Amino acid sequence: MTASDLISFARGAPSLDIIDVEGLKAAADAALTQDPGGALGYGTAIGYPPLRKLLAEQHGVAEEQVLVTNGSMQADAFLFDQLVTAGQPVVVERPTYDRTLLGLRERQADVRPVSLQTDGIDVEELAGLLEDGLRPTFAHIIPNFQNPAGYTLSLAKRKRLLELAEQYDFVIFEDDPYVKIRFAGQPLPTMLELDEGRGRVVYASSFSKTVAPGVRVGYIVGPAELVAKVRVRATNTYISPNMLAQAIVYRFCVDGGVDRSVATVNAALAERVETLCSALTKHLPEARFTAPEGGYFMWVELPDGVDVDVLLPAAEARGVTFVKGTDFLLDGGRSTLRLAYSGVRVDQIEEGVARLADAVRSLEG
């Protein structure tokens, strides 16, 4: 077994074959031809102004409500710096993105996980906690094709969350990097849209999944006052984010590259999910999962006796890897795993699942 033989269901990153390298070359050339001063000068902390304007138009908000950052995790970090107070409660989904948990714990938030169901966070569990006196600063929600679960928040729950936010005076942090990576079902309105400008929602997204991760371009949309505070923080941290990369992303957007790229990515991921589900049904019939309608991830529950701490090394010894479900939880999840299908080719998937099944069998002996 060499490293190159390893089939990785671990990393939430696209394989190179679904990135439009030639389109990005053309976008780089166009950006440097059409606006060399903008692409190569310092700029300011709001980001590349034409990209900010385009995003404001796409979301139907004022430009002052948008700030473009070096990837959306940097956006999260700035927002957490503004919104988190040590010791104050913050609601997260259970399970949720491991880096979100880390960022909140680094800032000493009182993290309150609420169960995630296949149609999104359990809003009645949340309502009960609120009735019992919980007063969170904000609720962090990944509405579409959640990381790690792959589940999507239903329209009814989106509306209910907004009602609760209004009633109990908290902010919804709508963390939405996967929204365009939908390959089945119908798109749903964002909570940002449903909020209709009442200022209850701070929205973050990214071009990592629609252009490429290496461009490191993310953004936030929120109340102008909050965005202005983040702007000051961003200025004092790095003067301005990457103007060159943002100018390239902007050209790629306006020249139709993002739409083409999304079509390519979604076709590829739909096929990968289908292959993955078939392979699991064949090799690991005891596995429980919900086929995602988009995004990069699928959550798999194995029978209670399987301990992922033991399974992972057994799997890696057989040339396949994944992320343990326990990484996305403060407690529990001993028999769960996250399978990322974004970085594996279709021809690797069945072999990867067969190796995983072999590892599961090895624990039963």
What's the min distance (Å) between Cβ of 69 and a second copy? 8
Select from 29-37, 120-128, 275-283, 290-298 the region that touches a second copy (CB under 8 A). Answer: 29-37
Tell which one of 19, 101, 191, 312 touches a second copy (CB under 8 A).
Answer: 19
The Cβ of residue 186 has, within 10 Å, a number of other Cβ atoms equal to 7
Angle at 249 between CA 80 and CA 74, to 5 degrees: 15
Tell which one of 82, 129, 193, 213 touches a second copy (CB under 8 A).
Answer: 213
Select from 11-19, 116-124, 160-168, 294-302 the region that touches a second copy (CB under 8 A). Answer: 11-19
Q: Does 42 bind a second copy (CB under 8 A)?
A: yes
The Cβ of residue 199 has, within 10 Å, a number of other Cβ atoms equal to 13
**Helix, strand or coil, per DSSP, at residue 116:** strand
Q: Does 260 bind a second copy (CB under 8 A)?
A: no
Q: Does 241 bind a second copy (CB under 8 A)?
A: yes
Q: Residue 227 in contact with residue 67, Cβ under 8 Å?
A: yes
Helical (H) or strand (E) element with 140: strand 138-141
Angle at which helix 257-283 crosses helix 243-254, to 10 degrees, equals 90
Q: Residue 277 in contact with residue 68, Cβ under 8 Å?
A: no
Taking the C-alpha atoms of residue 244 and residue 47, their distance in angstroms, rounded to an integer, is 10
Q: Residue 68 in contact with residue 219, Cβ under 8 Å?
A: yes
Q: Does 136 bind a second copy (CB under 8 A)?
A: no
What's the min distance (Å) between Cβ of 206 and a second copy? 11
Tell which one of 179, 201, 247, 284 touches a second copy (CB under 8 A).
Answer: 247
Q: Does 108 bind a second copy (CB under 8 A)?
A: no
CB nearer a second copy, residue 74 or residue 321: 74
Taking the C-alpha atoms of residue 338 and residue 12, their distance in angstroms, rounded to an integer, is 10
What's the min distance (Å) between Cβ of 295 and a second copy? 16
What's the min distance (Å) between Cβ of 41 and a second copy? 5
User: Ramachandran region of residue 46, left (φ > 0), alpha (ψ -120 to 50) or beta?
Assistant: alpha
Tell which one of 71, 148, 292, 333 touches a second copy (CB under 8 A).
Answer: 71
Q: Does 335 bind a second copy (CB under 8 A)?
A: no
Taking the C-alpha atoms of residue 342 and residue 11, their distance in angstroms, rounded to an integer, is 8
Helical (H) or strand (E) element with 54: helix 49-59
Restricting to residues 312-331, which ones interact with a second copy according to CB under 8 A? none
Interface with a second copy (CB under 8 A): 11, 13, 16, 19, 21, 24-25, 28-29, 32-33, 36-43, 70-71, 73-74, 77, 99, 102-103, 106, 208, 212-216, 236-245, 247-248
